[in-house]
Structure 1
Amino acid sequence: MQFSFALCESKLMNWKLAKEYFEDDGMLVDVYYEHMTTSGWEKLFGWLSANSNVTSINCYIPESDENSEKFPKDINAYIDVSGFYCFVSMLVGDITLFLRFYEKSELECDVSPSEIDSEEKLFALLSILEEIKVVTGSSRYLVCPENSKEGVFIVNGELVA
């Protein structure tokens, strides 16, 4: 599933307006997908399992007190388990996107702002974020400074700040 440059271009006013939010201040840029469901997680983990751009997987299973470099076979059995987490990194062109499962209701992603240094890279990031939104069935995603949802500057691919 690929989204066109024109789609991203129409959703974001322009790179000149957005680039200030990707200045490297030592903090990450966070992306939050809200209203995640068990079905959305199952679809996401299935999509990630088949995605050749995934570079690492680290899942912790509390009942066995072990870390695994692959997804559990029956992922829905763990989604509600306290202490279960999965960290996944994937390449999007030259950008590394980190996806983190901490809790059932929200997917958190991180990207280093220094990696988003051009309009092309911003559009590549927005394209993969939209693809993840479609895969998971999440109603929306927010892009904001690290640990600061109050500072949201992109919602579903549109610059809102």
Structure 2
Amino acid sequence: MKRVEWQDCREAFYVDGSLRDIYVRDTTLDDWDLFLGAVSSLLTATFVDGEPYPLPTQASEIFERSAETSFLLKIILGQAKMNCHFFTEEEIELDIDPSEVTSQVEFDAIVDVLALIGSALGRDVILTDENVPTSIWIVFDAINADVRFMTD
């Protein structure tokens, strides 16, 4: 995988009070299980209704309880944090605060997680503006195992 330089794509992390979202679209519970397996070694904490909770091995355990509980998976990458809230089975979504991505170090850690998830699922992973999945900044292309910064 070629290295994407922070200087070339720092504009994706402009600070305007919104987050950046990371998506894998059109997912199934099997994809979620692969996701949990892939990120389990990176996890800093998991919470149910704000209380520490062990990471389930099956996504179905999370989604079966989602009507009555709030599940949060947190990954800390240096000063940057990624959060996954398990909104829907059909889409894996994580968020990051762009103000926490200030150097090549944090950026590389994020790109590594995109590549880890994309490789484990064999699926493209995109980083977008918050709640705007069509406003794509960065793509992990699973077919080519490569990361691209999307310029105008």
Instruction: Look up the SS of the partner of 2:16 in the other structure.
Output: coil
Which shows bigger deviation, 140-149 or 82-91? 82-91
Matches within 5 A, 1:1-161: 7-9=1-3, 12=4, 14-49=5-40, 51=41, 53-59=42-48, 69-72=53-56, 75-76=59-60, 79=63, 83=67, 86-135=71-120, 137-156=121-140, 157-161=147-151
Q: 1:30 to 1:85 in 2, by over 3 A?
A: same
The CA deviation at 1:114 is 1.1
Contact 1:36/1:138, CA 8 A, preserved across alignment: no
What SS is found at the alignment partner of 2:27?
A: coil
Larger RCO of the pair (alpha carbons < 8 Å, separation 6+): 1
Contact residue 59 and residue 70 of structure 1 kept, 8 A? no
What is the root-mean-square deviation in Å for CA atoms of aligned residues? 2.6
Count residues with an aligned counterpart: 144
Amino-acid identity (%): 22
**SS, match of residue 101 in structure 1:** coil
2:45·2:52 contact (CA, 8 Å) conserved in 1? no
Structure of greater Rg:
1
The two structures have a TM-score, normalised by structure 1, of 0.74
Structure 1: 5+ residue stretches without partners? 1-6, 61-66
CA contact (8 A) 2:62 2:71 kept: no
